[in-house]
Structure formats: structure tokens, C-alpha cells
Amino acid sequence: MTNEEQQHVIDELQTVIADTQATLQRFEDTGMDKEMPEDYEKLLDIIDGAVKQQREHTKAMLGWLTPATCRGDAPDSSFPHALSGNPW
């Protein structure tokens, strides 16, 4: 994917996150989080998944995806994010 395509996906995921957060707020405001806990958890899962996908697209766009980071290994100190304290 090009950087522009990556950014487009990141932006779309941000829309999903914002919309889901608004729905969560409505759930909480109306007590539906207590009446429908399974649905509330599904909304939390949607946000969690979207944030994780957003992070992966950001890392790919920045060129931070390597075999080590794809395996989940600790980042190498030569990575800029390791020096800046960035958790990605």
C-alpha cells in the first residue's frame, strides 16, 4: 500500500473509533451497558480492534514493520520510536 492508502485507512478507522465511542456513550447514558452487557463488550472489542489496526497501518506507513516487530519482539534500539519512548 502507498502512504496515501495507509493514511486513508487510518482516517477511516478513526471514524469507526469516533462513531463507536459515541455509541458507547449513548449506551452508558441510557443504562444499556447494564441491560445489554454482551453488546457493550462487542462495542469495546470494535474499538480495540480498530485501534490495533490503526497502529499497524501507522507502523507500516512509517516503515517500522520488520520481521522482529511483526513477531512482537521488543523494538531494536536503532528504531526511532524506541529512542523517543513511543510504545509502537
The model's pTM: 0.70
Q: 42: buried, middle or exposed (CB in 10 Å: 19+, 13-18, 0-12)?
A: exposed
Q: Is residue 70 part of a domain?
A: yes
Q: Is residue 75 part of a domain?
A: yes
38-54, pLDDT tens digit by residue? 999 999 999 999 999 99
C-alpha cell at 33: 451497558
C-alpha cell at 41: 463488550
How many structural domains is the chain composed of?
A: 1
Using the predicted structure, report yes or no on whether residue 55 has a pLDDT greater than 50.
yes
The whole domain housing 73 covers 3-82
Stretch 22-42: mean pLDDT, rounded?
97
Count of CB atoms situated within 10 Å of the CB of 57: 21
61/11 Cα distance (integer angstroms): 13
Q: How confident is the model at residue 78 (pLDDT cuts 50, 70, 90)?
A: very low
∠ CA 73-57-26, nearest 5°, is: 110
Percent of the chain residues past pLDDT 90, beyond the cut: 60
